[in-house]
Chain A
Amino acid sequence: MLGTFCVLSAGVQRAWSSSSCLFMDPSSPGLVLQSQSTDVFQNLALEDWIDAHVDLQQRSILLLWRNRPTVVIGRHQNPWAECNLPAMRSAQVPVARRRSGGGTVYHDLGNLNLTFFASKKAYDRRRNLKVVTDALRRVRPQLDIQATDRLDILLNGRYKISGTASRLSRKSSYHHCTLLHSADRSAIAVLLRPSCPGIRSNATPSIPSPVTNLTDHAPSLQWEELLEAVVQQYSSEFGLTSSSQCVDPADEALFPGVGSMEAELRGWQWTFGKTPKFSVETQLELRDERPAARCSAQLQLEVKNGRVESCRVEVPATWLPERLSASLAQALLGERFCPHRAAAALSALLRCESGPLHSRLRNLCDVLVAAMG
């Protein structure tokens, strides 16, 4: 399926020895690129690279790309609030923070991403979306396709098939949108829910919408047909003389510096460390086996730059001495808000404490770790 995504074969693609050949064709005011990669970090890095290095004053570019299953959050969002990180870890679905604003989306190979690059002056999201809606209406005129005020694209006035986000930088802009062709909707339901309860934050929230795939309503619409329609519509709207080009976003010769952009996007610091300050307030249910007993405790955490800035664990003194719950809270300070880091920090504490309280302490540690997403 990957091979059919590229218009050119790999052999022809190697003719581009430098990006200047690729981007400097003066006869072509519009240029369409298709990414060979399905790695979200490589693709996001390519967007950043084009934005930073290509002169968009006289031309515009459309980049078509798709990713292996990934959750992508907006610039100022909270990944713990937006997606189920433990479930994603089990399913090996990474989370990526993009540089544009907006809400959280699930990407897989059935979702087409379109990025419209232009100068800041030429920034026009409606015009870009018109390329998509006109293309869809041309290939499947029976479909009811409309762009809304919020710049979503709805099918039958109800179901979202596309969401939009953008970024404005020094001189240029990019507007990207999703387009649901044949994505796994059940994954969306499972993965796009909070990792842990009790999060309070002023991070930008997502607006959940019912979604549908184009193929649910037009089963005969092939992926290649959709791409072709979009490329043709972009050509007529923006002026294009050459056909679309296949690019490898990991090609450092073609895109010098793209590797370090990718590394930054992939890193913990950008993905989690950039999360706006938030607090977690939740009740913990503690239990002992011998004799069977239970108790409730309160957890209160402040997380800044992805790390525990303050922590309070209120356990009734009859359950555990205050010095123990206090030292647990202390052990988490400065650690990444992460169940693995928490477990490591707490295990050191557990090793020091033997005796009758050990099992209760261990239970408290387990429950604390589980509360960290």
Chain B
Amino acid sequence: MKMAMRAALRCLSVNFSPRLPQLSSAAQVSATRLLCRSGAPRTLSTTSGQCTALKFTEKHEWVLVESGIGTVGISNYAQEALGDVVYCGLPEVGQKLEQLDECGALESVKAASELYSPLTGEVTAINTELAENPGLVNKSCYADGWLIKMTIERPEELDRLMDQPAYDKFIKSLEE
């Protein structure tokens, strides 16, 4: 079992945003959770410290926290609903955001969809790959298609977001 896990994890790249192999969205999320368990092997040089499982907002954004920094992206449900993304309008590094602030828009053939900040904090990084390759949001919404990184000024906001099972339930209720 250990060998299988190491093999699976070896596929993941060593930088902070892991490149996940082609997995279904559920498996993608489980793999990320594997990555974040404190027992991750040293071949994976992630920054030290705990990270939490994915949390979700009602606007279909996800947040993954590691060492006090939250990486934000949109869920598979959202990217499917959006259609092919042609432009990512993101906030600036250094921009201070309140939870639910409009902080940009993703433009697809379907519409310009407003992005809302999932948390209160300051933007520390934006995914510059998306300028040349906005389709990453569709192809790899939980990994290479991440949108921004931000500080977490109010951890209690994070606690109030949905975990994976709650989000899955939420999606089901929307589809009815």
Q: Give the interface of A toward B (CB within 8 A).
A: 74-76, 99-101, 123, 165-170, 173, 175, 202-204, 274, 276-277, 305
Known: A170-B59, A202-B132. A76 touches B114 (CB 8 A): no
Q: Give the interface of B toward A (CB within 8 A).
A: 59, 86-87, 89, 92, 105, 107-108, 110-114, 116, 131-132
Q: How far is the CA of A64 from the CA of B89 in the complex (A)?
A: 29
* Docked-complex contact B131 and A202, CB < 8 angstroms: yes
Smallest beta-carbon distance B61→chain A, Å? 12
* Docked-complex contact B113 and A204, CB < 8 angstroms: no
Q: How far is the CA of A168 from the CA of B60 in the complex (A)?
A: 13
Q: How far is the CA of A165 from the CA of B105 in the complex (A)?
A: 14
* Docked-complex contact A204 and B114, CB < 8 angstroms: no
A173 to chain B: which residues have CB within 8 Å? 111
Residue of B whose beta carbon sits closest to that of A204: B87
* Docked-complex contact A100 and B111, CB < 8 angstroms: yes
Smallest beta-carbon distance A224→chain B, Å? 31
* Docked-complex contact A99 and B112, CB < 8 angstroms: yes
* Docked-complex contact B111 and A101, CB < 8 angstroms: yes
Of B92, B110, B116, which is within 8 A of A166 by CB?
B110
B59 to chain A: which residues have CB within 8 Å? 170
Q: How far is the CA of A204 from the CA of B87 in the complex (A)?
A: 7
Of B112, B131, B132, which is within 8 A of A101 by CB?
B112
Interface of B, helix, strand, loop or mixed by DSSP: strand
* Docked-complex contact A168 and B114, CB < 8 angstroms: yes
10 contacts between A and B (CB under 8 A): A76-B87, A101-B111, A165-B111, A166-B112, A168-B111, A204-B87, A276-B87, A276-B89, A277-B131, A305-B92
Residue of A whose beta carbon sits closest to that of B88: A76
Q: How far is the CA of A203 from the CA of B105 in the complex (A)?
A: 13
Smallest beta-carbon distance B131→chain A, Å? 6
Q: How far is the CA of A74 from the CA of B111 in the complex (A)?
A: 11
Residue of A whose beta carbon sits closest to that of B134: A202
Q: How far is the CA of A170 from the CA of B116 in the complex (A)?
A: 8
Known: A76-B89, A202-B131, A204-B86. A170 touches B114 (CB 8 A): yes
Q: How far is the CA of A168 from the CA of B92 in the complex (A)?
A: 21
A165 to chain B: which residues have CB within 8 Å? 111-112
* Docked-complex contact A167 and B112, CB < 8 angstroms: yes
Q: How far is the CA of A204 from the CA of B108 in the complex (A)?
A: 10
Of A168, A276, A277, A305, which is within 8 A of B113 by CB?
A168
Residue of B59, B86, B112, B116 most packed against chain A (CB within 10 A): B112
A169 to chain B: which residues have CB within 8 Å? 113-114
The 5 A-B residue pairs with the shortest CB-CB distance, nearest first, are: A101-B112, A166-B111, A101-B107, A168-B113, A76-B87
Of A75, A276, A277, which is within 8 A of B112 by CB?
A75
Known: A76-B89, A202-B131, A202-B132. A167 touches B111 (CB 8 A): yes
Smallest beta-carbon distance A361→chain B, Å? 35
Smallest beta-carbon distance A61→chain B, Å? 17
Q: How far is the CA of A76 from the CA of B112 in the complex (A)?
A: 9
Smallest beta-carbon distance A292→chain B, Å? 45
Smallest beta-carbon distance B14→chain A, Å? 29
Smallest beta-carbon distance B83→chain A, Å? 11
Residue of B111, B113, B116 most packed against chain A (CB within 10 A): B111
* Docked-complex contact A75 and B89, CB < 8 angstroms: yes
A166 to chain B: which residues have CB within 8 Å? 110-112
Q: How far is the CA of A75 from the CA of B110 in the complex (A)?
A: 13
Smallest beta-carbon distance A275→chain B, Å? 11
Residue of A whose beta carbon sits closest to that of B112: A101
Q: How far is the CA of A123 from the CA of B108 in the complex (A)?
A: 15
